[in-house]
DNA sequence: AACTTGTCCAACCGCTATTCC
DNA sequence: GGGAATAGCGGTTGGACAAGT
């Protein structure tokens, strides 16, 4: 039996013991008291310490999605909706990453909202607009960068040798800054998700499989995926990394 | 009034990544 | 270094409820 099967079997066995289904107020209180005393984490010890017949997984989920005091209840506002749309356009189904940009909202909440509002109408007009907006911004940034590069070339042709060395150093520093920015973005993106970093942008192509033809052309990032093998952009030339990012 | 459809929400499942021993 | 335990993520399901037919 492989590792995954063993875990699954263990889960199933435990399933004979663990309670499932909706949480009762009493269970909630036990869990809240436990977190107040012990703090978050060590979820598997909750059942031992409190007598709760809930798996650690279930306890964590209940706390994160429902009991946490900093949760914002109520409907998603138009502003939040816009943020969700734009971040989804950038990051795809990285709900936890998106949720970090919306204080008080959970990944589950955002995921549910997305599925009900945007998943069915494919590709929904709203999504299309948001994505078009993001793409336009990205395009403009790219144009600016290329323009800057052209300016640099023209400038360097008019400079003395010493000045050219200085400009070259500047360019190198800029590239380093870009690399750091990319690494930062990748780390931030990877921090909350199962990994994948910047390249996870490929996930935004999920609509493709659902017949979202319009997105198929817009988000055809095969070259990006191919270059980094689905793991990360490391190893790519800086310019390719920048392009992959934008 | 009965049925259908859509929305919202909570919870579970399978899998992977990370941490611990 | 390797395996087990734990944490976290995204996908999916199912029930409650409201609105529409």
Which nucleotide is nearest to A91 if distance is taken from CA to C1'? Answer: C10
How do residues A154-196 score in pLDDT, each as one tens digit? 555 544 444 544 544 554 454 445 444 444 444 443 333 333 3
How wide is the angle at C-alpha A183 spanned by C-alphas A180 and A187, nearest 5°? 140
Look up residue A58 and give its two tokens: 């279930």
Q: How far apart (Å, rounded) are the C-alpha atoms in residues A145 and A245? A: 13
Contact A207, A220 (CB under 8 A): no
- On the question of pLDDT at A225 being above 50, the answer is no
Nucleic acid strand C: bases within 7 A of protein CB: 4-13
Question: Domains in chain A, start-ordered, CATH in brackets?
Answer: 3-67 (1.10.10.60), 78-119 (1.10.10.60), 132-245 (no CATH)
The tally of CA atoms less than 13 A away on the side-chain side of residue A70 is 7
Gap from A2 CA to C2 C1', in Å? 15
Q: What does the pLDDT look like over A55-91, one tens digit per residue?
A: 888 898 889 888 888 888 778 888 888 888 888 888 8
Closest nucleotide to A59 by C1' from CA: B11
Shortest CA–C1' contact from A92: which nucleotide? C10
Buried residues in A155-168 as b, exposed as e (16+ CB within 10 A)? eeeeeeeeeeeeee
Strand C proximity: list residues 191-220 of A with CB under 7 Å: 192-194, 203, 206
Question: Residue A184 CA to nucleotide C12 C1', Å?
Answer: 32
Alpha helices (H) along chain A: 3-15, 25-38, 46-50, 56-62, 78-91, 95-100, 107-114, 125-157, 161-192, 206-209, 213-218, 222-228, 238-245
Chain B footprint positions (protein CB, under 7 Å): 7-18
Inform me whether the pLDDT recorded for A18 exceeds 70.
yes
* pLDDT at A92 exceeding the cut of 60: yes
Q: What is the mean pLDDT of chain A?
A: 62
């Amino acid at each position: 039996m492989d590792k995954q099967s063993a875990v699954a079997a263990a889960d199933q066995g435990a399933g004979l013991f663990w309670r499932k289904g909706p949480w009762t107020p009493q269970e909630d209180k036990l869990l809240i008291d436990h977190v107040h005393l012990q703090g978050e984490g060590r979820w598997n010890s909750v059942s031992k310490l409190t007598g709760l017949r809930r798996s650690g997984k279930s306890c964590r989920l209940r706390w994160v999605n429902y009991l946490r005091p900093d949760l914002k209840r109520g409907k998603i506002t138009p502003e939040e909706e816009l943020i969700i749309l734009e971040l989804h356009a950038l990051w795809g189904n990285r709900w936890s990453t998106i949720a970090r940009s919306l204080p008080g909202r959970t990944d589950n909440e955002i995921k549910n909202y997305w599925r009900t509002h945007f998943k069915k109408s494919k590709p929904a007009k709203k999504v299309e607009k948001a994505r078009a907006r993001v793409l336009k911004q990205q395009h403009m940034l790219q144009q600016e960068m290329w323009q800057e590069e052209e300016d640099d070339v023209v400038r360097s042709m008019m400079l003395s040798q010493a000045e050219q060395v200085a400009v070259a150093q500047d360019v190198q520093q800029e590239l380093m800054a870009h690399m750091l920015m990319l690494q930062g973005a990748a780390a931030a993106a990877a921090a909350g998700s199962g990994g994948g970093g910047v390249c996870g942008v490929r996930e935004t192509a999920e609509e493709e499989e659902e017949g979202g033809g319009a997105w198929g052309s817009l988000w055809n990032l095969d070259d990006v995926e191919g270059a980094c093998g689905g793991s990360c952009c490391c190893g790519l030339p800086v310019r390719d990394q920048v392009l992959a990012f934008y």
